[in-house]
Amino acid sequence: MSFVDLLRVAPGTTPDLAAIDTASTPGFEGGKTEARDRLKVLRDELAEFQMRLWAETKQGLLVVLQARDAGGKDGLIRKVIGAFDPQGVRVTPFGVPTEDELRHDYLWRIHAATPGKGRIGVFNRSHYEDVLVVRVNELVPEATWRQRYDQINDFEAHLAANGTRIVKLYLHISRDEQRRRFEARLRKPDKHWKWSSGDLDARAKWDEYRAAYTEVLTRCSTDVAPWFVIPADHKWYRDLAAAEILAEVGRQMDPQWPAPEEDLSKIVVPE
């Protein structure tokens, strides 16, 4: 089975996040060295896919990344998204909404960052924060965030109907792995800038976030905008799985080189 088949959350199903081994490597029997060799091949394929996507200018690709704190979103962006030409890809991080953003509906800032045709957009966190952080920290009434699942599905269906392919990756780490990564940040001065004591507040609500993620994956994995759960304790597997999924999606999208606007066979380049 492909990584797409193994890691995709089938619409209408409920994944048991507690039962998923976050240190497992579904679909891959090799080790770190073999994974890195394979990743090099996939990066070349992704780069070629992007060139065809840019030239064709008929489709767009949106990659949504969600994870717990220290889950590896930034690392994946460096190792996998870094295969793309920066001219044609835009990475948008979504933090706490600004005052201006709060004056609009919660999807306003999201829609503004979606990719145009021929482009690739990457969300580092996303509109799903409005049914994750908002839910766990009780920032709005339950009746408000509960209606957002259907709103998000409609929003994503609208993007898909207008030429945007959507891939959503949840990087699934264990509580123990998160602790190890937090401790590594505290030991390394060049990682201190990434530290936020607010991360410990979220860690204290581990079970509440697991319940929130479970409902997101259950309610919002659709045919046009599927969720993939990637066991992410091993960074090398995280990167490999994400690249395999994106490469397969690229093959399905199959952008075509456009035909030249004139007959090039008669053109002679002067000496």
Cα torsion 227, 233, 238, 241: sign: negative
Q: What is the pLDDT of residue 165?
A: 98
Q: What is the pLDDT of residue 171?
A: 98
CB atoms within 10 A of CB 14: 13
Q: What is the pLDDT of residue 189?
A: 86
Domain boundaries, the chain: 3-256
Q: What is the pLDDT of residue 190?
A: 83
Cβ(231)–Cβ(22) below 8 Å: yes
Give 59-86 as a DSSP string. -EEEEEEEESTTSSHHHHHHHTGGGS-G
Q: What's the number of CA atoms in the CB half-sphere (13 Å) around residue 172?
A: 26
| Type and span of the H or E element at 134 | helix 133-136
Architecture of domain 3-256: 3-Layer(aba) Sandwich (3.40)
CA distance 42 to 46: 6
CA distance 8 to 228: 4
Q: What is the pLDDT of residue 79?
A: 98
Cα torsion 241, 245, 250, 252: sign: positive
Q: What is the DSSP letter of 261?
A: S
Q: What is the pLDDT along the chain (271 residues), one digit of tens a residue?
A: 899 999 999 999 999 999 999 999 999 999 999 999 999 999 999 999 999 999 999 999 999 999 999 999 999 999 999 999 999 999 999 999 999 999 999 999 999 999 999 999 999 999 999 999 999 999 999 999 999 999 999 999 999 999 999 999 999 999 999 999 999 999 988 888 888 878 899 999 999 999 999 999 999 999 999 999 999 999 999 999 999 999 999 999 999 999 887 888 888 899 8
Q: Tokens representing 69?
A: 């704190």
Q: What is the pLDDT of residue 137?
A: 97
Q: What is the pLDDT of residue 233?
A: 98
